[in-house]
Amino acid sequence: MVVDDQPEVLGSIKTMLEPLQCEVLAFADSREAARLIKTQSFDAVFLDAVMPHMDGFELTEIVRSSTQNSKVPIVLLTCSDDIHSMRRGFKAGANYFLGKPVTPERVCTLFNAVLGPMLSQRRKYARLPFQTTVTCSYGPHGENSFLARSLNIGEGGMSLQSAAGLKIGKSVNLVFSLPSTDRQLRLVAKVHRFTQPDRYGVEFVQPSEADQEAIRGYIAGEVLA
């Protein structure tokens, strides 16, 4: 996503990024961009610091508070020597700064720096089909339990199907096994969205390194198969 109220700047950045194999969604109205941030995932976000309606700092805070884009790399477009804006941008949650006037050399250099986090973010939200029975529990001592059916899994979370009346933001304990392994994974997750009344997505909360490695191994094996 690229957001800038100046059409010529917006067009220039779009033209520079597309040859780098990027699909670019460009917005001149920051309010329209803010609405989409809440419903769609992005690999990276470029925001002009100074805009009417919502400026880049406000949009940065919205990105950081969104469920789907809270970890996405954010590039703030500023004047090259605007130290005040950079400090304010870091405080809001920006990761990188691109000085104006924008040049192809600056865009290419920055893209190479952002590429690693972009790929990591993309892997986190990638989902592979994964069907198994998941034991779920919640409550102070896990006293409320039920069985759910998994639909898919990724490094950052999974989709489940059950008749349990969970709500967005609810924490739930998950226990399940991956194919070709006897070890049970025990994860804490938080409900972050519903796709149907009985289907919902959960995001893993601070999984152990062993559990993360097991999930990565499953995903890598499926992709290479």
Domain boundary residue, one of 100, 125, 150 = 125
Domain boundary residue, one of 125, 150, 179 = 125
Report the number of distinct structural domains present in the chain.
2
Task: Assign residue 31 the CATH number of its domain.
Answer: 3.40.50.2300
Backbone angles phi, psi at 63, to 5 degrees: -60, -45
Average pLDDT, the chain: 85
Q: What angle do CA 66, 11, 47 make, to 5 degrees?
A: 30
Task: Please indicate whether residue 181 or residue 175 has the higher confidence score (pLDDT).
Answer: 175
Is residue 61 domain-shared with residue 136, that is, in the same domain?
A: no
- Each residue of 118-131: pLDDT tens digit? 656 655 656 678 89
Is residue 115 domain-shared with residue 156, that is, in the same domain?
A: no
pLDDT at 221: 67
Predicted confidence band of residue 115 (pLDDT cuts 50, 70, 90): confident
> What domain range includes position 152?
128-224
Is residue 118 domain-shared with residue 190, that is, in the same domain?
A: no
pLDDT at 225: 34
The DSSP-derived string for 27-89 is: ES-HHHHHHHHTT---S-EEEESS-SSS-HHHHHHHHHHSTTTTTS-EEEEEETT-HHHHHHH
The average pLDDT across 24-53 equals 91
Sign of dihedral through CA atoms 108, 114, 120, 121? negative
Q: In the predicted model, is pLDDT for residue 192 greater than 60?
A: yes
Domain boundary residue, one of 125, 147, 171 = 125
pTM of the model: 0.56
Task: Assign residue 212 the CATH number of its domain.
Answer: 2.40.10.220
Classify residue 181 by its DSSP letter.
-
**Tokens for 116?**
């690693």
Is residue 143 domain-shared with residue 47, that is, in the same domain?
A: no
DSSP tally for the chain: helices H, then strands E: 6, 12
Is residue 138 domain-shared with residue 113, that is, in the same domain?
A: no
pLDDT at 180: 67
pLDDT at 46: 93
The average pLDDT across 3-14 equals 90
